[in-house]
């Protein structure tokens, strides 16, 4: 029984890691960096697939703007900028909600990915804020 609880705690640490030092804060923040990179990569892939499927049409510019934003936000989270961590999570939630309002069927299909990205961006936010708290000398509060 105790072994199962220990295993659950170890597995939960990957999803919602305990942040107690600079290294764990950096690893949590890197989840946000990876999420921004994957979101930007999927968006570029989606635009390329659109251009292949509809060669005569010009794609919407909005996803390209999102790619640039998420690239800059990923770099900002890597550099531990708190505003980048908040903006990354806020922008993704805004995009997901607007996608649900505009096209609910495809947005609900992507809800599984949304949960993953929101969790990763939230961990990035936690990591950046904890990194700054540790830098200022706060205790190991997670």
Mean pLDDT computed over 73-99: 91
pLDDT at 32: 92
Query: Domain for residue 105, yes or no?
Result: yes
* Higher pLDDT among residues 36 and 142, named by residue: 36
pLDDT band at 13 (very low <50, low <70, confident <90, very high): low
Look up the domain containing 43 and give its range: 23-136
Whole-prediction pTM value?
Answer: 0.79
Is the pLDDT reported for residue 122 higher than 80?
Answer: yes
pLDDT at 139: 56
Which H or E run contains 14?
A: helix 2-15
**Range with the poorest average pLDDT among 5-19, 98-112, 120-134:** 5-19
Query: Domain for residue 9, yes or no?
Result: no
Is the pLDDT reported for residue 84 higher than 90?
Answer: yes
Is the pLDDT reported for residue 79 higher than 80?
Answer: yes
Q: Which of 2-6, 86-90, 100-104 has the highest mean pLDDT?
A: 86-90
Query: Domain for residue 31, yes or no?
Result: yes
Query: Domain for residue 132, yes or no?
Result: yes
Mean pLDDT computed over 96-105: 80
The DSSP-derived string for 73-103 is HHHHHHTT-HHHHHHHHHHHHHHHHHHHHH-
pLDDT at 50: 85
Query: Domain for residue 5, yes or no?
Result: no
Query: Domain for residue 4, yes or no?
Result: no
Is the pLDDT reported for residue 91 higher than 80?
Answer: yes
Angle formed at CA 49 by CA 73 and CA 116, multiple of 5 degrees = 45
Query: Domain for residue 106, yes or no?
Result: yes
Burial of 91 (0-12, 13-18, 19+ CB in 10 A): middle
């Amino acid at each position: 029984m105790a072994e199962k609880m220990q295993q659950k705690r170890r597995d939960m640490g990957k999803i919602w890691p305990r942040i107690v030092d600079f290294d764990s804060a950096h690893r949590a923040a890197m989840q946000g960096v990876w999420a921004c990179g994957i979101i930007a990569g999927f968006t570029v892939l989606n635009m390329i697939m659109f251009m292949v499927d509809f060669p005569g049409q010009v794609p919407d510019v909005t996803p390209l703007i999102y790619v640039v934003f998420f690239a800059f936000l990923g770099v900002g989270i890597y550099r531990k900028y708190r505003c980048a961590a908040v903006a990354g999570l806020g922008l993704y939630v805004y995009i997901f909600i607007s996608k649900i309002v505009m096209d609910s069927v495809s947005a609900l299909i992507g809800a599984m990915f949304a949960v993953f990205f929101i969790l990763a961006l939230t961990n990035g936010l936690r990591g950046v804020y904890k990194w700054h708290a540790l830098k200022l000398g706060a205790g190991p509060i997670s």
